[in-house]
Structure 1
Amino acid sequence: MIAMQYKITLPSDYDMGIIRDRVQNNGYKTDGFEDLKSKLYLITELGNNKCLQNSYCPLYLWKNSSGLNKFLFNGYYDNILKSFGWQHVNIGIPLIDNTTDKIKESKYVFEISKTIQPQESLDNLTDIILNEIPMLDQTEYTIIYNPDKWEYSVFYFNEDVDKFADLNGVVYTVLHVST
């Protein structure tokens, strides 16, 4: 598996209805996309759920690289380039992915990002990360790491935003889920 996300920061006075309409009119186009496990169309809105900015931040979980390559290089990503300009595409490797078809019911995604500290061995890194992160009952999650930056992110998927109320991180609203 491969994870991919681009985070488009939008002006504080940006009409987020534009993004909502964009996803409502086009989100279905990635339903059933080649090698796509899931794509979550995510936004943050200034002032909602402690968010400090407006953003559009789709998160993709690919089964392998062929679908990702098709998306980026066969014209599909051109819609992002035309609408928002050149974006940095974050790529990561899922360390743990316990998501199921229930991910389609998600209304919110919560992200915690942390640095992987230098150590003598990475043999027990999974255990270290699992001990560092909160475990939320009845919440699916994915842990994605990037050895280029030695960082990891945990994405929690849930229907109830209150699950994340006491945690520090980013709360995204899910507009559509493609699988």
Structure 2
Amino acid sequence: MQYSFTLPADYDMAIVRQRIADKGHLLDHFDGLMLKTYLHAQRGSSSDENLYAPFYVWRDSAAMQRFLGSEGFANLTRAFGWPSIRVWPVWDVYLSPEARHARFATRDIQPIAPYSPLESLRDEQRVLLQRDIERGAVAAVSAFEPTSWTRVSFRLWDGTLPAHATGQRYDVGHVSQP
């Protein structure tokens, strides 16, 4: 699951970084949360826009619903607005304990061509996920969304972003990983 807030070009991103520093730990032990990455991107350095875009991996939809009904989510919407939330059924996920130390993230969303053999696509994505783990990813998620027919590859990196990394790049402010 991910939502993203596009902030004004002149927005002081130090406000987002401070919010993450102050509140990031609040979900460290949320029941049913496997991973939350507090992501941000600054216009000009890693992105075309200023973004605050947390990415989550949930154990099940009931846990996600508990979070979306929580006071914490209500506070977020009061601060940033009512987001559109992307939800992808997960094909594969790898979450190492080192994910807590991630410094960067990449998220790549690509279309799925009509009539694509989904099992073959999943197998291809599994190979790419394993390749990225071997190249240093400390967390990796492959998933798809059957309404818009897209696939997502999400990776966390604890060192320098590899040259082959594609898609949106983010800085990681905090990782909640119970």
Tell me the residue number matched to 2:121.
125
Structure 1 residue runs of 5 or longer lacking an equivalent are none
TM-superposed deviation, 1:167: 4.0
Match of 2:19 among 8, 19, 22: 22
Q: What's the CA shift string for 1:25-47, capped at 9, x where partnerless?
A: 11111010010001000001011
TM-superposed deviation, 1:108: 0.4
Q: Distance in 1 between matches of 2:128 and 2:115?
A: 15
TM-superposed deviation, 1:138: 2.3
Tell me the residue number matched to 2:32.
35
TM-superposed deviation, 1:86: 1.2
What letter is aligned with 1:176? H
Change (3 A) 1:114 1:20: same
Deviating beyond 6 angstroms after TM superposition, the runs of 4 or more aligned structure 1 residues are 131-134
Answering whether residue 110 of structure 2 is matched by residue 111 of structure 1, we say: no
Answering whether residue 72 of structure 2 is matched by residue 76 of structure 1, we say: yes
Normalising by structure 1, we get a TM-score of 0.89
Match of 1:55, SS?
strand
Preserved CA contact (<8 Å) 2:92 2:126: no
Tell me the residue number matched to 1:87.
83
Answering whether residue 61 of structure 2 is matched by residue 62 of structure 1, we say: no
Q: Distance in 2 between matches of 1:132 and 1:159?
A: 18
**CA RMSD for the aligned pairs?**
1.9
Q: Distance in 2 between matches of 1:102 and 1:133?
A: 16
Structure 2 residue runs of 5 or longer lacking an equivalent are none
Q: Distance in 1 between matches of 2:20 and 2:113?
A: 38
Normalising by structure 2, we get a TM-score of 0.89
Match of 1:79, SS?
helix
Change (3 A) 1:23 1:146: same
Q: Distance in 2 between matches of 1:121 and 1:70?
A: 34
- Identity between Structure 1 and Structure 2 (%): 28
Change (3 A) 1:55 1:35: same
Preserved CA contact (<8 Å) 2:90 2:144: yes
Tell me the residue number matched to 1:168.
166
Change (3 A) 1:74 1:167: closer
Tell me the residue number matched to 2:149.
150
Preserved CA contact (<8 Å) 2:109 2:167: yes
